[in-house]
C-alpha cells in the first residue's frame, strides 16, 4: 500500500515537472573504448602455463609407468588363468575368473582416477594463471581507458591499436613465471 502511494506521488511529480517545462537529465553516457585480447596466444606463450604443462607431463609419465606395470601384471595373470582352465574344475575356474575380472576393474578404476587427478591438478594450476591474467588485463585496460575487453577469438575485425595481448603477456611473464602443481591425487 505504501509503495503504491509512493509510486503515485512519483508520477505526479514527473507530470508536474514536464508541465513546468523542466527536463529530467539524461543518464551520463560512458564513452565506449574497446580493447582486444588474444587468450589463445597468451595460453600458448605464457611461461607459467608452459611450466604447468611440463609438470603435468612429468606426472603423466609417472602414472603411465605405474599403469603399465599393472597392465603387465594383468597380462601375466590372464596367461596363468588360461593355463589353469584345463587344471581346474568349472566352479573353481569361474571363481578364479571372477577374481581376475575384479583386478581388471580395479586397474580401470585406477586409470580413471589418475586421469581425474591430473585434470584436477591442471585445473587448479591454470586457475592461478587465469586469476593473475584477469588482474593484469583489468590494469592494462584501465591504463588504456578501455571500458570493454573482447576476446580476439570472438572478434571478426579489430584495429591493431586495440590489441593489448602483447602487453598483458609481457606483464604476465614478468609477474608469474611458474606455478607449482600439487602432486595429483595427494588431496
What is the full DSSP assignment across 161-182? GGB-HHHHHHHHHHH-S--PPP
* pLDDT score of 8: 63
Closest by Cα among 104, 110, 114 to 73: 104
Backbone φ/ψ region at 145: left (φ over 0), alpha (ψ -120 to 50), beta: left
**Residues 6+ positions from 175 with CB-CB distance below 8 Å:** 132, 136
Q: How far apart are CA 95 and CA 131, in angstroms?
A: 54
Question: How many C-beta neighbours within 10 Å does residue 78 have?
Answer: 13
3-class SS at 158?
coil
* pLDDT score of 24: 46
Torsions phi, psi for 163 (to 5 deg): -75, 120
* pLDDT score of 92: 83
Question: How many C-beta neighbours within 10 Å does residue 180 have?
Answer: 10
* pLDDT score of 15: 60
| pLDDT one digit per residue (tens) for the chain, 187 residues | 565 555 465 555 556 555 555 454 555 576 789 999 999 999 999 999 999 999 999 999 999 999 999 999 989 988 888 888 778 888 888 888 898 899 999 999 999 999 999 999 999 999 999 999 999 999 999 999 998 999 999 888 888 899 999 999 999 999 999 999 988 877 6
Q: How far apart are CA 111 and CA 116, in angstroms?
A: 9
Amino acid at each position: 500500500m505504501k509503495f503504491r502511494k509512493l509510486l503515485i506521488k512519483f508520477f505526479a511529480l514527473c507530470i508536474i515537472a514536464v508541465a513546468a517545462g523542466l527536463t529530467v537529465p539524461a543518464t551520463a553516457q560512458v564513452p565506449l573504448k574497446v580493447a582486444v585480447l588474444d587468450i589463445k596466444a597468451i595460453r600458448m606463450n605464457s611461461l607459467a602455463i608452459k611450466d604447468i604443462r611440463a609438470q603435468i607431463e612429468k606426472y603423466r609419465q609417472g602414472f603411465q609407468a605405474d599403469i603399465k606395470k599393472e597392465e603387465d601384471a594383468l597380462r601375466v595373470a590372464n596367461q596363468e588363468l588360461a593355463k589353469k582352465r584345463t587344471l581346474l574344475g568349472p566352479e573353481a575356474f569361474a571363481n578364479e575368473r571372477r577374481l581376475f575380472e575384479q583386478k581388471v576393474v580395479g586397474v580401470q578404476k585406477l586409470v580413471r582416477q589418475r586421469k581425474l587427478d591430473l585434470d584436477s591438478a591442471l585445473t587448479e594450476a591454470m586457475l592461478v594463471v587465469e586469476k593473475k591474467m584477469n588482474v593484469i588485463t583489468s590494469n592494462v585496460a584501465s591504463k588504456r581507458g578501455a571500458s570493454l575487453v573482447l576476446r580476439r577469438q570472438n572478434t571478426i575485425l579489430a584495429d591493431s591499436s586495440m590489441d593489448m595481448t602483447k602487453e598483458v603477456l609481457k606483464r604476465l611473464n614478468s609477474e608469474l613465471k611458474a606455478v607449482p602443481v600439487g602432486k595429483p591425487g595427494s588431496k
